[in-house]
Structure 1
Amino acid sequence: MAKTVNLATINWLFVCGLAFCLGGVVVLNLMPLSADCICPLKKSGFQNSEALQSVTQPPFDMPEHKLAILVPFRDRFEELLQFVPNITRFLQKQRVVHHIFVLNQVDRYRFNRASLINVGFRFTRDVYDYIAMHDVDLLPLNEDLHYEYPSDLGPLHIAAPELHPKYHYETFVGGILLVRREHFEEMNGMSNKYWGWGLEDDEFYVRIRDAGLQVTRPHNIKTGINNTFNHIHNRYHRKRDTQKCFNQKEVTRKRDRETGLSTLEYKISKIHQLSIDGITITVLNILLECNLNNTPWCDCSGIAAAAAAEEPIK
């Protein structure tokens, strides 16, 4: 009897110890990664990435395409709280395999939407075969707007000019634009010269055209500019950074043939897994680099230039 009790006790301790170790692994996987661990997602490590998507993707086998929702972000947390559950429900109904990546700019420079999208693309391109360049304040309402894999012709513009609440010119490609991985690489991504608000999507339209690609848009949509999207941006609470300084206005009206994915300079300081209403998203804390000689308008206040001048020579 004594031997039986001892054996049972040993087995019980072994099971408890194993459970404790497995629990530790789960906790560690949910902790933010240090800067030393940061690297782009890889296909070989996609198992962990898929686990993070368990809430956001429907249960079907071997999806043909995977969509990375890239959300350029700074100080819009209340909008993010609305965006995540809304877009998740919307895409679940369409059975779109996806994951949300919040591209959180944490450096001292002005907001750079295009460069953040370039960072998000670099981080996700080995796992996801198309991206959605998605504003956090634009929520689709019409279920006939399909976030499908774009055709060979070129990007799919969900927020078409005849549907967007605010922008109605023909070459507009902002708001929500879906781009295949190979097309984004072919265009060398987006320009890195657009600090502050506006015009980066207009420059990207010219890149699309120069690459011989075409913008396609949803067909047979019965709603219009007032009821296709919910535009949750409050322009009085969140003012646009429309300031122009140095020669910014002149330079940013031209096609940029110098910068893009190949010239992007940045650091990802932290990667967080954040849960909103039970939906897990990935937040990248991004530090963009600015060449003050090429784009001094990344800081119209002059603080960055003064700080750079005071740095010791290495």
Structure 2
Amino acid sequence: MIAGGRHRPEDCTARQKVAIIVPYRDRDINLRIFLNHMHAFLMKQQLDYRIYVVDLDKKIPFNKGFLLNVGFMEATEDNEYDCFILHDVDFIPENDHNLYTCAVDQPRHLSVAMNKWKYKLPYPKYFGGVVAMTMEQFEAINGFSNEYFRWGGEDDDSYNRVAHSHMTIYRAMGDVGRYTMLPHKQAVKNPKMYSLMKTGIKRMKRDGLNSLKYKVLQRSDRKLFTYIMTTLDRTNR
């Protein structure tokens, strides 16, 4: 294990270089469980990987899409990753055959069966939890919207971006894509969620990676992960 949550296999060439991007706020217990589980899980897959935990200035309401965009940009500065795994901190994979790799032709949805929902997809267009995209796929949808503050809506917005970009989603088999969802305090819902989703496609070309403005307040290589604390950069707004 290299500092910053980086690991590469010693006895073979990794099938892919993978960045695990985890949007984070105030879930220390979830994060500890996640890290202890994920390193053992990922090492078995002989991956060259690094785990990024991206936190947001506490004065700003949580924004998952913004944090995923920041994590993507910071990771691309570090390495030429083949795959980006966008991973909620409370999702723990149960099946070692659930490969944390990307498909060249389409995004992959890995978390399709959660214990919370009796191991069923909660609704047909669900595209949250754990998603795998190549750089080309993430850039094709202009990343995530930066407008979803608090909880809810950004994953459905992402699904609409993928569909609008004429890509299909490959979903893991139900017995493979099984996850345990760790308990946590319910986050504050986004009151603008539905109105934002209605205009999501209209904003897609101007709301995402190409409109991202952020500052890194802190970055440190910790024992099991790379920690990034970020904030909105309002100087150019």
- Give the TM-score taking structure 1 as reference length: 0.67
CA distance in 2, matches of 1:164, 1:207: 27
Alpha-carbon separation, structure 1, partners of 2:176 and 2:73: 35
Q: How far apart in 1 are the matches of 2:115 and 2:167?
A: 22
Partners of 1:273 and 1:109 lie apart in 2 by 24
- Inter-partner Cα distance in structure 2 for 1:164 and 1:117: 25
Structure possessing the higher radius of gyration over alpha carbons: 1
Secondary structure of the equivalent of 1:165?
helix
State which of 32, 49, 63 in structure 2 corresponds to 1:81: 32
Which residue identity is paired with 1:63? Answer: A
Three-state SS of the structure 2 residue aligned to 1:202 is helix
CA distance in 1, matches of 2:157, 2:115: 19
Q: Deviations over 1:191-222 (max 9, x none)?
A: 11100101101010111111111110123x43
Greater mean deviation of Cα atoms: 134-143 or 53-62: 53-62
The counterpart of 1:260, out of the listed 208, 215, 233, is 208
The verdict on how the C-alpha distance between 1:213 and 1:131 changes in structure 2, with shifts beyond 3 A counting, is same
Q: Which residue of 1 aligns with 2:109?
A: 157
**Which residue does 1:16 correspond to in 2?**
none
Equivalent in 181, 206, 219 of residue 135 of structure 2: 181
In the alignment, which residue of structure 2 is the partner of 1:311?
none
**TM-fit CA distance, 1:57:** 2.9
Which protein is richer in strand relative to its size? 2
CA contact (8 A) 2:107 2:133 kept: yes
Q: Which residue matches 1:250?
A: 195
Distance 1:204 1:58, change over 3 A: same
Residue segments in structure 2 that go unaligned for 5+ positions in a row? none
**Is the Cα–Cα contact under 8 Å of residues 15 and 46 in structure 2 kept in the other structure?**
no
Which residue in 2 is equivalent to 1:288? 232
- Could you tell me whether the CA contact under 8 Å between 1:53 and 1:98 is conserved in 2? no
In 1, the alpha carbon distance for the partners of 2:128 and 2:72 equals 17
CA distance in 1, matches of 2:5, 2:143: 29
> Given that residues 197 and 240 in structure 1 are in contact (C-alpha distance below 8 angstroms), is that contact kept between their aligned partners in structure 2?
yes
Q: Give the deviation of 1:106 after TM superposition.
A: 1.7
Q: By how many angstroms is 1:281 displaced? A: 1.1
Partner of 2:148: 194
**CA distance in structure 1 between the aligned counterparts of 2:187 and 2:91, rounded to whole angstroms:** 15
CA contact (8 A) 2:111 2:129 kept: yes
Structure 2 CA distance for partners of 1:169 and 1:121, relative to 1, 3 Å: same
Same amino acid, percent of matched pairs: 28
Give the SS at the match of 2:170: coil
How many residue pairs align between the two structures? 228
Deviations 1:286-314 (A, max 9, x none): 112469x9xxxxxxxxxxxxxxxxxxxxx
Q: Which residues in structure 2 correspond to 1:2-151 (within 5 Å)? A: 51-52=2-3, 56-126=7-77, 127=79, 128-151=81-104
The one-letter code matched in structure 1 to 2:208 is: G
Q: Distance in 2 between matches of 1:68 and 1:249?
A: 30
What is the alpha-carbon root mean square deviation over aligned residues? Answer: 2.4
Q: TM-score, normalised by structure 2?
A: 0.87
Give the AA of the match of 1:272: S
Higher relative contact order (CA closer than 8 Å, sequence separation 6+): 2
More helix by share: 1
Q: Aligned partners of 1:243, 1:207: CA distance in 2, in Å?
A: 19
